[in-house]
Amino acid sequence: MKVEKISAFSYKNRGGNPAGVVFSDEMLNKKQMLEIAKDVNYSETAFLIKQGDSFRIRYFSPETEIAFCGHATIASGYLIGEKFGLGKYNLILNNGNIEIEVSQKNGESFTSITSMKTHSKDAKEEYINSIIEAFSFKKEDLNSKYPIKIAFSGNDHLIIFLKNKEKLQEMKYDFDKVKVLMKKENIVTISVLWEENENLYHSRNAFAYGGVVEDPATGSAAVALGEYLRNMGFKKSGNIEILQGFDMKQPSQLFVSFSDIANSPIKVSGTSRVIE
């Protein structure tokens, strides 16, 4: 079984988040997909079969199946474009459909994902306190302008804003404790952010849920951030840029755009590169 390796949301043709992508004639069983994902040992591997003009897609981390993964979708889009041509394609997920568009931008493959409908909800104060303690943050480290919330983009993501970029760069956490807390509330990543301005955000994403300490680029969390900003009224529509992975020496760049219609799908885009 051939596993193709693509780094999604790359930054100036370097960095990005590696994903495995497997095309097959029939969908493999769950055990086979998990074994391949463990062997590849990236944060996610995507498995696709063609169904008419659409593609059925499933995502596996080395430990578990994930409902949706942005960077593995961007990586898959790159290969769909290479194999089937540029254009728009429908992807069938476990719990809904999304659309991708594959194009060329400045000589690079550029893929956009249009998410399913999004929403936000409150997190319990006791739960927030447990997370903050496990990250060794103090209350004064948090940016009180931005309440801690859960935003849904196909997965649930916890959104935490810090006051200072230095605190973001110093991010560390108790992996085992946070993994238990994330599994308890089905939080797929914890998105820790610093706002440079209303259009540019710096992000680090804890992915203990999937058995990975940190994700260098997280498309699903990028969509969740767009949902959060819109839902809270900080930015009701428009475009934002997210820089992630720089502290891991895997620089990544994600572009997000959304309308002012509540809960409407959000678009996340980025370039990809082949991992030699």
Which strand (E) or helix (H) includes residue 183?
helix 175-185
Mean pLDDT, all residues of the chain: 96
Q: What is the mean pLDDT of residues 79-91?
A: 96
Helices (H) then strands (E): counts for the chain: 6, 17
Q: Which of 92, 114, 136 is the last residue of a domain?
A: 114
The band of 109, judged by pLDDT with boundaries at 50, 70 and 90, is confident
Helix (H, G, I), strand (E, B) or coil at 263: coil
Task: Name which residue leads in pLDDT, 108 or 41.
Answer: 41
**pLDDT for 276:** 84
**pLDDT for 168:** 97
User: Is the pLDDT reported for residue 107 higher than 90?
Assistant: no
Q: Tokens 């710096």 identify what position?
A: 202
Domain range holding 83? 4-114
User: Is the pLDDT reported for residue 118 higher than 90?
Assistant: yes
User: Is the pLDDT reported for residue 1 higher than 90?
Assistant: no
**Beta carbons of 42 and 59 less than 8 angstroms apart:** no
**Beta carbons of 248 and 240 less than 8 angstroms apart:** no
What sign for the dihedral angle of Cα 202, 238, 218, 272?
A: negative
Digit-coded pLDDT (tens) for 6-19: 999 999 999 999 99
Q: Is residue 274 part of a domain?
A: no
Q: Which of 47, 79, 114 is the last residue of a domain?
A: 114
Same structural domain for residues 40 and 154?
Answer: no
Digit-coded pLDDT (tens) for 157-181: 999 999 999 999 999 999 999 999 9
User: Is the pLDDT reported for residue 108 higher than 90?
Assistant: no
CA max distance for the chain: 54
- Assign residue 58 the CATH number of its domain: 3.10.310.10
Q: Is residue 145 part of a domain?
A: yes
Structural domains in the chain (count):
2
Provide the residue count of the chain.
276
Residues 6+ apart with CB under 8 A from 170: none
**pLDDT for 201:** 98
User: Is the pLDDT reported for residue 60 higher than 90?
Assistant: yes
Same structural domain for residues 61 and 196?
Answer: no
The band of 105, judged by pLDDT with boundaries at 50, 70 and 90, is confident
